[in-house]
Structure 1
Amino acid sequence: MKIAFYGSSLLSSYWNGAATYYRGILKALAAHGHQITFYEPDAFDRQQNRDIDPPEWATSVVYPATTEGLSAVLAEARRADVVVKASGVGVFDAELIAGIVEHASPDAIKIFWDVDAAATLDEIRADPAHPVRNALPHLDMVLTYGGGPPVVEAYEALGAARCIPVYNAVDPDTHHPVAPDDRFACDLAFLGNRLPDREARVEQFFLAAAAALPEQSFLIGGSGWHDKHMPANVRHLGHVGTADHNAFNCTPRAVLNIARDSMAAVGFSPATRVFEAAGAGACLITDYWEGIEQFLIPGEEVLVARTGQDVADLLADLTTEHARAIGDAARKRVLAEHTYELRAKQVDELFRTHAATAKVAA
């Protein structure tokens, strides 16, 4: 099938946490024979901060963030068998969701792919005229990268024909063990951009733990933290490109995942960081969120903290041998059950089943 995918960016992870997810899913879908064109706006300095070249498994189209650029790429929707509008493009989001409904072929599968369902649903509930709410009756399905039963029920109550979670995963060709790198040497590392609905949890789970363990070393990577007051044993790196993520995960004794407020509240929403770290064989400590047991076994494949003091206590007792055992178990689990190849198989079957059912109905 020909897939037209309108998203934030495939080529850059700069202020774009969905990049790893897009790359993993779409690369694996291409292996199933789908022809993918990814349309992304030239916005937010992402094209100046690319971390991959245009891939061979998808056609990359970067369009000017203008009404003319938008019109040109929306006109291409009519050529596709599957038309996808992802959440959080950041430019012309309302026009894009309305545009795929207007321009897609009548026979095309029309999809809203929500990579931040908790935030989107909050927006929809607050705005009866929200463009996604208006588009739902005209879409064939909503796919989400997390959320589980609460998100499925919410979307279907709003009028979605179907809502199916397609969770984050690992691409073992991209995220895997590598040799340690002295740039990332520390006891605990955290990687994440500074966002309003994450900052308080970073203070609680990371900075408070660092303050409680002054003899240990901590490392924070991600954009926006340069002017944040931190304990003396915390080192700030700034943006860490995806090419360095394996070394970032493999070098510290442990790495920390901190869900954003909205993701923690809705549950069943493992971040890409969870699978990146597990794929690299890292010992992962994560804040608790409902549904974690669906992905990794607490105490065996991941260490779970409910407070910053829990993080400090786990780290204080964590030996190198125990950390290695946790990381090895996590890597084994994600390679068996949580790869993008498995996620792509799920999506491929959704597309083909929907197309076959529509053909019979016609």
Structure 2
Amino acid sequence: MRRSDEIIFIGLSITSSWGNGHASTYRSLIRGLHRLGHKVLFLERDQPWYASNRDAPILPYCQSRLYLDVDELRARYTPRLRAAAAVIVGSYVDEGRQVCDWVLDHATGVKAFYDIDTPVTVARLQDDSCEYLRAAQVPEFDLMLSFTGGPILERLERDFGARSARPLYCSVDVDQYQPTGTHRDIELGYLGTYSEDRQPALETLLNEPARRLPKRRFAVVGAQYPDDLVWPKNVQRVDHMAPGSHALFYGRQRFTLNLTRADMRKAGYSPSVRLFEAAACGTPIISDEWVGIDELLEPGKEVLLADSTRDVTEILENVSDAEAEQMAAAARERICAEHSSVHRAEELESYLSAARGAAVRKPLPSVAGTSGERAVAAH
């Protein structure tokens, strides 16, 4: 069989950014791959909540296709899967365990798993509650890619038998996310889907400062917030904003707030795609603190850290516009140089090349439920 040069992704969504951060991550990475000359096919399950909120039904830099279920996926795409240079399965794919079985059984190129939720995945692998990946499947992939860096990569190799665990952070398309020169009429804004474990931080670091500064304007953009939440009168709420409008929204903010989910904060080294987007747009950033953030942006120079209402209100009242803009410019320079979509695509290229060029594979580690047991579990 003749091998193609195609890279196939099977992910949560690329056509809709509603209620998820995966779409923005995939769009940036795959746009970078396209600019490097790669041919990409993205497969995603057709879900009603994405169907009614598609903000990118057609993508000029890759071929995207919807499927109804795993049976259709197998029937329509097995020959293409077998011929692909690489196949990358993403986290939170519906019926992901079955999808992984299909990929591991039939792909002949590099087989990779891209985890955009690594701390959540690792916690659930321990008690077999992860719906999109089994522990037995981890050592069968040639490559485990993770949006979380740091010690968790060693844990994937040591505790779960991953052959090669490598960091692949989110990134930003620096052509799409740029300073807009818009008047900054929002004192502090936040862009993010509702998360129960993130909401207390949003209350502490945005809603309470808004109450203490009633004459200033705040904004929260994101889907799935409960209807019974009570917002301060000076906090504007927008349910969803398509990525094409993000740069303008960032441009309106005097500061933007970056918040991290509890599992990600605990693991560290888990930068949100919003952190990169805001920096690329030249918007000053206030972020919660977690291990590893200083390897991405220098606190006090490129980002300001806060863990209390007082921290945020003091920043808003005491940091001058000139100081804030100087910090934003430094952050933009850093992110554009190290975390652009092309930079991330080049990293992925190097990982795939190393996996493809490995002449001798490590023997599969003796961990619970490896390949022979996987075949039984799949039925």
Normalised-by-shorter TM-score class: over 0.9
Q: Residue by residue, what CA displacement relative to the aligned partner does 1:121-144 show, whole Å, maximum 9, x if unpaired?
A: 111112289743111121101001
**Alpha-carbon distance in structure 1 between the residues aligned to 2:287 and 2:65:** 36
Identity among equivalent pairs (%): 31
CA distances 1:140-180 after superposition (whole Å, capped 9, x unpaired): 0100112x222102211211001101112221111111142
One-letter code aligned to 1:209: P
Match of 2:37 among 33, 44, 53: 33
Aligned-pair distance for 1:37? 0.5
Assess, with a 3 A threshold, how the Cα gap between structure 1 residues 312 and 126 changes in structure 2: closer, same or farther: farther
After superposition, what is the alpha-carbon deviation per residue over 1:197-241, rounded to whole angstroms, capped at 9, x for unaligned? 222221222222222322322111101234311222211111111
Structure 1 residue 264, shift from structure 2 partner: 0.9
Match of residue 163 from structure 1:
165
- Superposed displacement of residue 88, structure 1: 1.3
Closer, same or farther: CA 359–53 of 1 in aligned 2, 3 Å: farther
Give the number of aligned pairs: 354
For residue 196 of structure 2, what is the aligned residue in structure 1?
196
Partner of 1:173: 175
Aligned partners of 2:269 and 2:293 also within 8 Å: yes
The CA distance in 2 between the partners of 1:73 and 1:156, in whole Å, is 33
Could you tell me which of 40, 56, 64 is aligned with 1:60?
A: 64
Output the amino acid matched with 1:112.
F
Q: Which residue of 1 aligns with 2:125?
A: 124
2:18 equivalent in structure 1: 14
Which residues in structure 2 correspond to 1:65-84 (within 5 Å)? 66-73=69-76, 75=78, 76-84=80-88
1:315 aligned partner: 316
Inter-partner Cα distance in structure 2 for 1:268 and 1:340: 19
Distance 1:320 1:334 in 2: 21
Q: 1:207 to 1:68 in 2, by over 3 A?
A: same
Shift of 1:256: 0.5
Q: How far has the Cα of 1:56 moved from its partner?
A: 2.5
1:311-353 superposed Cα distances (whole Å, 9 cap, x missing partner): 1221121222222111111111111222121111111112122
* 8 Å CA contact retained: 1:287, 1:307: no
The structural deviation recorded for 1:71 is 2.6
AA matched with 1:167: Y
Residue 4, structure 1, aligned to residue 8, structure 2: yes
Whole-angstrom CA distance in 2 between matches of 1:317 and 1:360:
57
1:80-229 correspondence to structure 2 within 5 Å? 80-89=84-93, 91-105=94-108, 108-127=109-128, 131-146=133-148, 148-157=149-158, 158-180=160-182, 185-225=185-225, 226-229=227-230
| 2:25/2:170 contact within 8 Å kept | yes
Report the residue type matching 1:213 in the other structure. Answer: L
Taking the aligned partners of 1:59 and 1:358, their CA distance within structure 2 comes to: 31
> Aligned-pair distance for 1:354?
2.2
Letter in 2 for 1:215: K
**How far 1:299 sits from its partner (Å)?**
0.9
* Superposed CA offset, 1:86-144 (max 9, x none): 0012x212211222111212xx1111100010111111112289743111121101001
CA displacement at 1:359 relative to structure 2: 8.5
Equivalent positions of 1:231-250 (< 5 A) are: 231-250=232-251
Partner in structure 1 of residue 359 of structure 2: 358
Q: Alignment RMSD, CA only?
A: 2.0
Q: Give the 3-state SS of the residue equivalent to 1:299 in structure 2.
A: coil
Instruction: Give the Cα–Cα distance (whole angstroms) in 1 for the partners of residues 114 and 249 of structure 2.
Output: 29
What is the TM-score with the length of structure 2 in the denominator? 0.88
Q: Which has the higher contact order (CA 8 A, sep 6+)?
A: 2
Partners in 2 of 1:8 and 1:67 — Cα distance?
13
Q: Which runs of 5+ in 2 are unaligned?
A: 363-379
CA contact (8 A) 1:188 1:254 kept: yes
Q: Which residue of 1 aligns with 2:305?
A: 304
Equivalent-residue separation in structure 1 for 2:254 and 2:357 (angstroms): 50
1:259 is the counterpart of 2:260: yes
Separation in 2, partners of 1:318, 1:39: 46
Q: What is the Cα deviation at residue 301 of structure 1?
A: 0.8
| TM-score, with length taken from structure 1 | 0.92
CA distance in 1, matches of 2:253, 2:136: 47
